[in-house]
Amino acid sequence: MDTFFSQNLQFLRKSLEGKVSQEKMADELMIKKSTLGSYESGRAEPRYTDLVKLSEYFNVNIDELLKTDLSVKRPEPKQEERLRILTTTVSVDNEDNIEYVPIKAVAGYVNGYGDLDYISNLPVFNVPFLAKDKKYRVFPIQGDSMLPLREGSLVFAEYIENWKAVKDGTVCVVVTRSEGIVLKKVFNYLAEMNVLVLKSTNEHYAPYPVLGDDIQELWKFVGYYSSKYPL
């Protein structure tokens, strides 16, 4: 966890009108005073649910709360979402191909998703029952976090341009710098806090947050193929 978190928390609390105590703030946030004290002293890392509460309480993005020294630089107004350009290929009929990212190419995709040479070398095909006015790509599923889909299943996904419009509970392929390619249910806090919370359908896996700045692409689940019967 970034070292700015604890000092930012102290700074923001002490900047509140009326000299708000740890006890009062903990009561308002519905967390234990000892937990808040541990966060301020740097003895504990915050849970994502508490990060969300603190971000809303101070009206500060989670990314800024973690990475910016707020005692020196106050948060700037949120900027409009930057334009996203998808690197893609087309068929001889000038229609979008459906590129397939095989297992052996997954690691390279995180760095090569915007590289035309890389994308051009992916296998491609067409599926007649998918809408021609939307962009699709196929990703392999690894692990058992999204049961009943089995490892090795191939997920067909539709490109999402406006991330902030994604509804809570939507199943998405999320491409991040830190984790690579994952399939998860998405809970969207990008507009307020620059965070997505990712949740597995397998309850053995805990939800976790991903900062908007770590996300490279979002693709909406539209179907899958598997040679094995679902569990």
139 with 40, same domain: the answer is: no
Task: Give the end-to-end CA distance of the chain in Å, rounded to a whole number.
Answer: 37
User: Are the CB atoms for 75 and 68 separated by under 8 Å?
Assistant: yes
Distance CA(120)–CA(125), nearest Å, equals: 12
In tens digits, the chain (231 residues) has pLDDT values of 446 889 989 888 888 876 788 998 998 888 999 999 999 998 888 888 888 889 888 888 888 888 888 887 554 444 444 456 688 888 887 788 999 999 998 889 988 888 888 999 999 988 888 888 899 999 999 888 998 988 889 999 999 988 989 999 999 999 998 889 999 999 999 988 899 999 999 989 999 999 998 999 999 999 999 888 776
In a domain, 76, yes or no: no
- What global pTM score does this model have? 0.65
Q: E strands of 102-150, at which residues?
A: 124-125, 136-140
Domains identified in the chain, total number: 2
User: Are the CB atoms for 125 and 100 separated by under 8 Å?
Assistant: yes
175 with 125, same domain: the answer is: yes
Q: Which of 87, 86, 95, 103 is nearest to 181 (CA)?
A: 103
Distance CA(99)–CA(122), nearest Å, equals: 6
217 with 159, same domain: the answer is: yes
Distance CA(140)–CA(95), nearest Å, equals: 23
Residues facing 181 on adjacent strands: 175
In a domain, 74, yes or no: no
User: Are the CB atoms for 189 and 151 separated by under 8 Å?
Assistant: no
Distance CA(168)–CA(189), nearest Å, equals: 9
- DSSP letter at 90 equals B
CB atoms within 10 A of CB 19: 9
- DSSP letter at 96 equals B
**Domain that residue 184 falls in:** 98-225
102 with 216, same domain: the answer is: yes
142 with 28, same domain: the answer is: no
Beta-sheet strand order (sheet of 98-100): 124-125, 98-100, 136-140, 154-159, 215-225, 170-176, 180-189, 195-199, 208-211
